[in-house]
C-alpha cells in the first residue's frame, strides 16, 4: 500500500514538473480545455451501485485540481437516487469535500416512507453537512413529498433563528410528524410512495 501511494505521488510530481507548457497557456484557454474535458451534457448519476470516481485530469497535478476542480463540481449537475429517505450516500459525498457540498445536485426520491432516515437527513442538513429537499422538477409530488419539503424548510428556519439546539429542533420536528400522522396515516410514511425529482440545496 505504501509503495502504491509513493508511486501515485511520484507520478503526480512528475506530471507537474514535465508539463511546463500547459502552465504557460492563458488561464482562459486552460479553462476552455478543462470544460471540454470535464463537462457532461447529462446529469452525473451517483447511486449505491455506481459511484463516480474523480476524473483523471483532476488527479494529474495540483494545478489541475486547483483550477479544474471548481469547473467540474460547479458546472456539472450530480444526481442521486434516494429511497426511503436513506440519504447516507449523498450525505457522505457532501462531507467528503467542500466542493462537493456546494455543487449542483438533485435527487430522485422514491418510496419515501422512513421517518428515522428522514430525521438523520434533517440533522445533517441542520449541521450544514449537506443540502435538503427544496423543490421538485418533475414526477408525482404527493403529500409525503410535500411534507418532507416543508420539514426541510422548517429545519432551515429554526437553524437560522439561532436560539435553538438540534435537540430543540428535533422535538418540534417530531411534533410536526405526529400531527401529520394524525391527519392521515400515510403521512407517517408507513405505506404508499412519493416519487419525485427534487432539487437539493
Same structural domain, 63 and 95: no
Q: Is 45 helix (H, G, I), strand (E, B) or coil?
A: strand
Task: Mark the ranges of the chain whose per-residue pLDDT is less than 50.
Answer: 1-18, 190-192
Q: Which residues 6+ apart lie within 8 Å of 75 measured at CB?
A: 35, 38, 39
- In the structure grid, which three cell numbers stand for residue 165, read together? 439546539
Domain that holds residue 146: 80-201
Q: Using an 8 Å Cβ cutoff, are 68 and 58 in contact?
A: yes
Positive or negative, the CA dihedral 51, 54, 56, 57 is: positive
DSSP state of 130: S
Q: What is the pLDDT of residue 3?
A: 34
Q: What is the pLDDT of residue 10?
A: 36
For residue 109, list its beta bridge partners: 82, 196
Q: Is 52 part of any domain?
A: no
Q: Is 50 part of any domain?
A: no
Q: What is the pLDDT of residue 114?
A: 83
What does pLDDT average to over the chain?
80
pTM, entire model: 0.78
Please write the tens of the pLDDT for every residue from 40-91: 999 999 877 765 567 888 888 787 888 899 999 999 999 998 888 899 999 9
Same structural domain, 129 and 179: yes
Amino acid at each position: 500500500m505504501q509503495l502504491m501511494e509513493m508511486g501515485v505521488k511520484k507520478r503526480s510530481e512528475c506530471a507537474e514538473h514535465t508539463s511546463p507548457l500547459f502552465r504557460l497557456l492563458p488561464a482562459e484557454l486552460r479553462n476552455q480545455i478543462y470544460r471540454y474535458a470535464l463537462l457532461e451534457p447529462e446529469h452525473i448519476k451517483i447511486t449505491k451501485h455506481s459511484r463516480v470516481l474523480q476524473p483523471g485530469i483532476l488527479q494529474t497535478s495540483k494545478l489541475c485540481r486547483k483550477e479544474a476542480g471548481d469547473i467540474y463540481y460547479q458546472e456539472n449537475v450530480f444526481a442521486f437516487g434516494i429511497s426511503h429517505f436513506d440519504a447516507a450516500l449523498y450525505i457522505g459525498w457532501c462531507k467528503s469535500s467542500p466542493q462537493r457540498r456546494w455543487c449542483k445536485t438533485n435527487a430522485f426520491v422514491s418510496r419515501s416512507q422512513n421517518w428515522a432516515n428522514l430525521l438523520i437527513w434533517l440533522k445533517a442538513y441542520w449541521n450544514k453537512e449537506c443540502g435538503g429537499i427544496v423543490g421538485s422538477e418533475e414526477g408525482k409530488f404527493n403529500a409525503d413529498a410535500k411534507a418532507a419539503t416543508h420539514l426541510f424548510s422548517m429545519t432551515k428556519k429554526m437553524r437560522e433563528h439561532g436560539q435553538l439546539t438540534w435537540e430543540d429542533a428535533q422535538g418540534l420536528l417530531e411534533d410536526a410528524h405526529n400531527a401529520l400522522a394524525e391527519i392521515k396515516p400515510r403521512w407517517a410514511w408507513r405505506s404508499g410512495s412519493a416519487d419525485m425529482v427534487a432539487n437539493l440545496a
